[in-house]
Amino acid sequence: MSEHVFSRGHHLPVVATGEGAELVDVDGRRYLDGSGGAVVTSIGHGVTSVVDAIAAQAAAVAYVHGTTFTSQALDAYADELAPLLPVDDPRIYPVSGGSEAVETAIKLARAYHLGRGQNRSVIIGRHGSYHGNTRGALDVSGRPGLRAPYLPWLAHAMHTTAPYEYRCPFPDDHPHGCAARHAAHLDRLITDIGPDQVAAFIAEPIAGAALGACVPPDEYWPAIVDVCQAHGVLLIADEVMTGFGRTGPWFACDHWNLRPDILVAAKGAASGYWPLGLTVSSGEVHDVVAASGFTHGFTYSHHPVGAAAGLAVLRELRHLVPHVPGRGHDLGTALHRELDRHWAVGDIRGLGLLWAVELVLDRDTRQPFPRQERIVEQVVAAAKDNGLLAYHSTGCANGRDGDLLVFGPPFVITAEQCAELANRCAAAVNAVLGA
C-alpha cells in the first residue's frame, strides 16, 4: 500500500477483480461480499453493460456544467426513474453522493419555506440516526460518537426518538402503543421549538447501518406524517441505504405508501460504479423554490456520465429487484439458523437484503459489550480472514456501546451464497466469543 495514500485502514489487501457477489485480491484470495462495501453494490461486480454505458458517455462528452447544458443522458435517466419514485410529480437533482444529497435536501427545505414567506430553519432528526459526514448532514444525524469531535460546529438541528424495536424507548407501551408515543414526542418537540421555526423532519423509513435494519411498527409512519402535516413541516425520507430495491420494493417508503416531500438516495443508485446521489423534491416544493430561487449547486451535479451510469444500473435493477424478497428470505433464514442460539446474539433483524445481527454481553438484559472491547471489529476481522466481508456499526445501544454486524450483499447473491455468508458469520462470532 502506497505511503502517499491517506488510508482508511491499516494493512489492507489490494483488490484485483470482482464478479457477481465476490471480490478477489492481488494474491488470489476470494471474498464473499456480504456487505456490498458500505451496502452500495446492488447489481454485483463486473457488470459490463454499466461499464460500457459509462465509457460511451465519457467518449461523447465527459463533463458539462449544469448551468450551461443539460444532456440526453440526464433527461433519459430522469424520465425512466421518475415513475418509480414515491414522490408526487418528482423533480430530480443529481449530486455526487449521499452526504451531498442530504445537504441539498435540508437547503431545499429552507428555500421552500423562504419562498412561502416563512423564516423556518430548524431541521429535526432522530437519535441514533446517520445521514452523512458533511457538516449539515452530521448536524441532523444523531450518532454521538461521530458528532463529538465537531460539536462546536453542530448546533442547529434537534433530535427526537427513533423506532428501535429491540430497545424501544417506550417499553410500557411496546409493541402496540409505541408508534403513537413516537409521534407524540415529535409533536411536543415541534411545539416546544415553535412550529413556525421547524422546516423539516428527516428520517430513514427503515433505519440503515446506524441502528441496524430497524423496521418500525406499521403505525409509525402514518402517525409521523399526520404530525408533520399538522405543523406544515416538510418530510425528508433518507433512502440513501434503503432505496433502489434494498428492502424489497423499489423504495422503503413503499412499504407504507409513504409520500415524502423530499427524498434522498445514493449508494444503490449507481451501485458503486459512479459517485451518484439524488435529491428528489415533489412538484410543489420544486415550483415554490423555482419561483423564488435556489442558492445552491455543486461542480459535479447533473453530471452526464453519472446519469448514464444511473440509467444503466436502473435497467439492471429492473431484472434484480423482483427477486430481492425471496433472496432476503434466504439470507434471514440462514442467519437465524446459524446464530439464533448463540449466547451473544441479542437480535437478528432485517427486510429484503438488509440485515443486522446485534451482539450483546447478556441476552436476558440486552446489556451491550463495553465499547473499549471492540467486539464487532474483532468479528469483522475474523470474518475477513475467513473470506467474508461484513459491514459493522457501533453505539446503537446508548450512543457509545452496542455492536452491529450489517449485511447488504449484492442482489445477485445466490441461495447457496446466503447460506455460506451465514455460516462464515457464525464461524467468526464463535472465533471471537466462543460457541
Could you identify the residue written with the cell 430522469? 78
**Nearest Cα to Cα of residue 244 among 217, 211, 277, 216:** 277
Kindly tell me the burial class for residue 221, based on how many C-beta atoms sit within 10 Å of its own C-beta (0-12, 13-18, 19 or more): buried
**Which regions of the chain carry the CATH code 3.90.1150.10?**
15-46+322-433
Q: What is the pLDDT of residue 327?
A: 98
Could you identify the residue written with the cell 419514485? 85
Q: How far apart are CA 365 and CA 158, in angstroms?
A: 30
**Nearest Cα to Cα of residue 255 among 186, 352, 178:** 352
Query: Along the 435 residues of the chain, how does pLDDT read in single tens digits?
Result: 788 999 888 889 999 999 999 999 999 999 999 999 999 999 999 999 999 999 999 999 999 999 999 999 999 999 999 999 999 999 999 999 999 999 999 999 999 999 999 999 999 999 999 999 999 999 999 999 999 999 999 989 999 999 999 999 999 889 889 999 999 999 999 999 999 999 999 999 999 999 999 999 999 999 999 999 999 999 999 999 999 999 999 999 999 999 999 999 999 999 999 999 999 999 999 999 999 999 999 999 999 999 999 999 999 999 999 999 999 999 999 999 999 999 999 999 999 999 999 999 999 999 999 999 999 999 999 999 999 999 999 999 999 999 999 999 999 999 999 999 999 999 999 999 998
Q: What is the pLDDT of residue 200?
A: 98
**Which regions of the chain carry the CATH code 3.40.640.10?**
50-320
CATH code, residues 15-46+322-433: 3.90.1150.10
Alpha helices (runs of H) in 340-435, residue ranges in sequence order:
375-385, 415-433
CATH architecture under which domain 50-320 falls: 3-Layer(aba) Sandwich (3.40)
Under the phi-then-psi rule, with left for phi > 0, alpha for psi from -120 to 50, and beta for the rest, what region is 41? beta
**Nearest Cα to Cα of residue 251 among 389, 96, 85, 377:** 85
Put the strands of the sheet holding 388-389 in their side by side order. 15-19, 22-25, 30-33, 388-389
370, three cell numbers: 463495553
Task: Answer yes or no: pTM beyond 0.85.
Answer: yes
Contact 214, 255 (CB under 8 A): no
